[in-house]
Amino acid sequence: MAPRILLARHGQTEWSLSGKHTGRTDVPLLEEGRRGAKLLGERLHRPPLDGLPGVEVRTSPLVRARETCDLAGLGGRATVWDTLMEWDYGAYEGLKPAEIQAVRPGWLIWRDGVPEGESPAEVSARADEVVAWARAEDRDVLVFAHGHILRSIGARWLGLPLDFAARIRLNPTSLSVLGWAYGEPALESWNDTGHLAG
């Protein structure tokens, strides 16, 4: 079977709740985020995933991703990987999209990047590194990371330019699966938050 990559976005934080761009600022999970992470863990440990035996787990080093991984019951198996860090938003760190649009009308991060931070090409290269790693494995892999880098991985898995990621949103504590259909890369499931309804 061709390897798949499972993507887990971290739980809710104060900044993600308010819509602030949260790149490298190490914001902790809210209680809602911790609850969501535990529910995600319960889902990952019941059929059909059954705790993902043999699956390699990697996490961003930022606390919101590591804590989500820990609360999901997979922290002991996870390797911290800097490549999974969120987009470096540079001068736009902590700002809401409307605040940026007020000084830069028409701005789109996926196309325009950010001053003093990462360019779309740099983020695309990091996403490509994750895709290459996942495809080289002989088993499924699971990563815990952040909204923009996970959306970037989704776009690049499909072989699409980075700006496609603008069209595939991700909610906190969502689970997505990138797999294959007819021998081609495919979205098996995307932005699934069914485990949070329980």
**Which residues are annotated as catalytic?**
10, 86
User: 72 near 8, Cβ under 8 Å?
Assistant: yes
Give the relative orientation of helices 147-157 and 120-136 as an angle to the nearest 10 degrees.
60
- Determine if residue 92 is labeled as part of a ligand binding site: no
Who's near 157: CB < 8 A, 6+ residues apart? 5, 131, 134, 178, 185
- Determine if residue 89 is labeled as part of a ligand binding site: yes
Nearest-angstrom CA–CA distance, 107 and 102: 9
- Determine if residue 173 is labeled as part of a ligand binding site: no
Query: What does the block give as tokens for 185?
Result: 């890369």
Total number of residues shown for the chain: 198
- Determine if residue 87 is labeled as part of a ligand binding site: yes
- Determine if residue 54 is labeled as part of a ligand binding site: no
Nearest-angstrom CA–CA distance, 63 and 17: 16
Which helix (DSSP H) or strand (DSSP E) does residue 127 occupy? helix 120-136
- Determine if residue 15 is labeled as part of a ligand binding site: no
**Cα 196 to chain center, whole Å?**
17
Nearest-angstrom CA–CA distance, 29 and 33: 5
- Determine if residue 22 is labeled as part of a ligand binding site: yes
If we measure between CA atoms, which residue out of 3, 17, 26 comes closest to residue 85?
Answer: 26
Binding-site positions for substrate read 22-23, 64, 86-89
Q: Would you list which residues are annotated within the binding site?
A: 22-23, 64, 86-89
